[in-house]
Structures are given as structure tokens and as C-alpha cells.
């Protein structure tokens, strides 16, 4: 390979890495029916998924949640809870009482939920936090969990992650104290299947009253109240990173810049 070709290959490789690094990976709905999405940068989108404006972030966000007009995020290190103003600027930081890295946030009413890769489930209102060590409480009953996602709504909370063997699992609770495993079976082409993707995000859609579990391979598993009514949808993305339900549409975010809006 000539020197010129090597330089061209390097430019293309770095460009690919830059594009991948700028994926939008999390977000929240906005009051006007649009979305506020984040990753390496912050973007305001309308209900059709068009970017209205964006700005750089001092540090990438791994997960976001909103309680009324209050915005919260977790940075990529997963060590601090960040409180944000309306423009996405960090106004305060708080270290949550967790041993593991915080992997995801969710909000329901005035309660903020978080999960860690050490199997911890955390919830609170900002004035105090309750930490459940899931792996200790269910030792010998469920395999230990590395949690990756959490969502709340409709009177339930759902968490998802991977077992030590790498297979996915999800659990539900009404108050965050007692947890039951959620079956991830579904039927495809008349054949029984089991969801096998690595969980990346959970979302609750209040209009449809169902949870959605997103994973690699472009997989999305719909989880309605009927545990035998799960259904799988595949999208043209290596990994689905987030599903954000808005007022009139839902925004799907994936790797390599994948972005799709679906009417609700």
C-alpha cells in the first residue's frame, strides 16, 4: 500500500470512529412534542425527528431522565448524578450511594430510578436514596445481575441486564422492594423464541401501556401486560440505544447514527 493510500485509509478510519462516537444514545421528550437527545452532544429535535439545534457537551451522557422541568443525566463514567438546566448545562453533581457504576436512569412521577452494573437498584426523590442490593437479596434464587437498563410507569418498574453467562434477564416490581422475573419469550413465524440480545435500554410507553426492551442486533421486544403477548421487531441498526416516547411520536436511536420516528 502506498503512503497516500495509507493516509487515506487512516482518515476514513478516524472518520468512522468519530461518527460512531457522536451517536445520540439517550434522551427525554419535551413539552412541545419533540425530543431532547444526548450522547457526545446535545440535540433538540421536533416530533418528526428533525434536528432543530444542537450544541457540544463538556462530557458525554450515558442516560437521561426528566421529572417535570428538571433534567438529570449520568456521565459515561457512571459515578455521578448530574442535574441540568434547560440548556443541558450541569448545575450540580451528586455521588449516589452505590458500589457499582450507574448504567441507566428513569423517572416516574417524582421518583428517580437508577441501576448499576453491580446489581443495585436505587430510587429516591432527591432528598434521600434507597439502595437495594438485588444480588444479595436474591442470592441463590436468581443469578447475579449486571443491570443495564431501567424504566418506570403504569404502576410498575422494570430493570434489565445480563446474567454471568451473558444471557439477558428482566425483572418487575410495583414498589421496588419485591422483584419478579419477566419472561422474555416471544413467537416468531409460529415458533417459540427467547430474546437473546444484550439489553441496552428500557422504555415505558404510557399511551400503549407497555414496556420496550432494546438490544443489540437492532432488536426491540415489546412487553405488554400479558407476559405471553411479547413481540419482537428488528431494525436496521447494529444496536438500538434508546426509545423515547413523546406526545405524538416515539424516537428510536441506534448506533452509527440510526434515528427513526414512529407514530404512537
The CATH code of the domain at 22-263 is 2.130.10.10
pLDDT for residue 140: 95
pLDDT for residue 13: 34
Using DSSP's 3-state secondary structure scheme, residue 200 falls into strand
Tell which residue, 135, 134, 221, 217, has the closest CA to residue 178. 134
pLDDT for residue 263: 87
**Looking only at Cα atoms, what is the longest distance across the chain?**
63
C-alpha span between 166 and 148 (Å, rounded): 12
pLDDT for residue 264: 74
pLDDT for residue 241: 96
C-alpha span between 220 and 215 (Å, rounded): 6
pLDDT for residue 105: 97
pLDDT per residue as tens digits for the range 215-236: 999 999 999 998 889 999 999 9
Low-confidence ranges of the chain (pLDDT < 50): 1, 3-22
Residue appearing with cell numbers 440480545: 197
Supply the pTM of this predicted model. Answer: 0.89
pLDDT per residue as tens digits for the range 164-181: 999 999 999 998 999 999
The residue extents of the domains of the chain are: 22-263
C-alpha cell at 207: 399511551
Amino acid at each position: 500500500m502506498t503512503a497516500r493510500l495509507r493516509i487515506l485509509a487512516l482518515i476514513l478510519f478516524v472518520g468512522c470512529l468519530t461518527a460512531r462516537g457522536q451517536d445520540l444514545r439517550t434522551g427525554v421528550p419535551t413539552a412541545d412534542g419533540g425530543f431532547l437527545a444526548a450522547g457526545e452532544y446535545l440535540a433538540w429535535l421536533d416530533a418528526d425527528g428533525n434536528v432543530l439545534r444542537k450544541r457540544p457537551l463538556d462530557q458525554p451522557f450515558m442516560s437521561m431522565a426528566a421529572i417535570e422541568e428538571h433534567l438529570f443525566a449520568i456521565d459515561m463514567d457512571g459515578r455521578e448524578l448530574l442535574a441540568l438546566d434547560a440548556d443541558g448545562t450541569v448545575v450540580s453533581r451528586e455521588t449516589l450511594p452505590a458500589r457499582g457504576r450507574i448504567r441507566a436512569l428513569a423517572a416516574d412521577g417524582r421518583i428517580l430510578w437508577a441501576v448499576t452494573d453491580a446489581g443495585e437498584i436505587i430510587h429516591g426523590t432527591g432528598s434521600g436514596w434507597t439502595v437495594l442490593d438485588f444480588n444479595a437479596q436474591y442470592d441463590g434464587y436468581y443469578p447475579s445481575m449486571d443491570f443495564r437498563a431501567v424504566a418506570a410507569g403504569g404502576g410498575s418498574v422494570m430493570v434489565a441486564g445480563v446474567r454471568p453467562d451473558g444471557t439477558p434477564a428482566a425483572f418487575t416490581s410495583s414498589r421496588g422492594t419485591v422483584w419478579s422475573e419477566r419472561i422474555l419469550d416471544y413467537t416468531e413465524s409460529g415458533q417459540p423464541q427467547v430474546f437473546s440480545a444484550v439489553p441496552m435500554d428500557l422504555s415505558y410507553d404510557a399511551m400503549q401501556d407497555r414496556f420496550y426492551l432494546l438490544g443489540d442486533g437492532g432488536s426491540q421486544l415489546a412487553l405488554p401486560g400479558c407476559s405471553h403477548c411479547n413481540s419482537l421487531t428488528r431494525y436496521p441498526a447494529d444496536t438500538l440505544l434508546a426509545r423515547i416516547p413523546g406526545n405524538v411520536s416515539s424516537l428510536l436511536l441506534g448506533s452509527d447514527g440510526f434515528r427513526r420516528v414512529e407514530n404512537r
